[in-house]
Amino acid sequence: MAARRGPYFCGIDAAMDVVSGKWKVLILWELADHGVRRFAQLRRGLPGVSEKMLVQQLRELEEDGLVHREVFAEVPPRVEYALTDEGRSLNEALAPLGAWGTERIRRIGAEKVYAS
């Protein structure tokens, strides 16, 4: 699915165009938390994402200039993903939304319980 390129009605419309999809914001958050990640590391950090969906979402984030993909000429091949400056600025803008969500989780008692 190609990203829209406007015209937009407002800033939220433009932002939602870039982050639409269940996994994009979570990919951005994962890269912000851990810096440069390889594909398998991203997949492990995002339980429930399929390989196909992760590939698709990473391609779209790369096309939108939010994620940089670097391929190293090695055997076996190595590919790393990192946030661009624009991706970092979007992640900073999402931080208050994440804080709101964390408070909501606490308020409604939806914390994940970890087995020890």
**How many beta carbons lie within 10 A of that of residue 38, not counting itself?**
12
Which of 81, 76, 37 shows the shortest CA–CA distance to 59?
Answer: 81
**How many beta carbons lie within 10 A of that of residue 67, not counting itself?**
22
- Domain ranges, ordered by start, for the chain: 11-97
Write out the two tokens for 46.
Answer: 């995002």
Give the pLDDT confidence score for residue 2 in this predicted structure. 52
pTM value is: 0.84
Give the pLDDT confidence score for residue 24 in this predicted structure. 96
Give the pLDDT confidence score for residue 1 in this predicted structure. 46
Q: Which CATH number fits domain 11-97: 1.10.260.40, 1.10.10.10, 3.40.50.2300, 3.40.30.10?
A: 1.10.10.10
Q: In a 10 Å sphere around its CB, with 0-12 CB exposed, 13-18 middle and 19+ buried, how is residue 104 labelled?
A: exposed
Q: What are the per-10-residue average pLDDT scores of the chain (116 residues)?
A: 70 88 94 95 95 96 95 92 96 92 89 63
Q: What is d(CA 29, CA 65) in angstroms, rounded to the nearest whole number?
A: 16
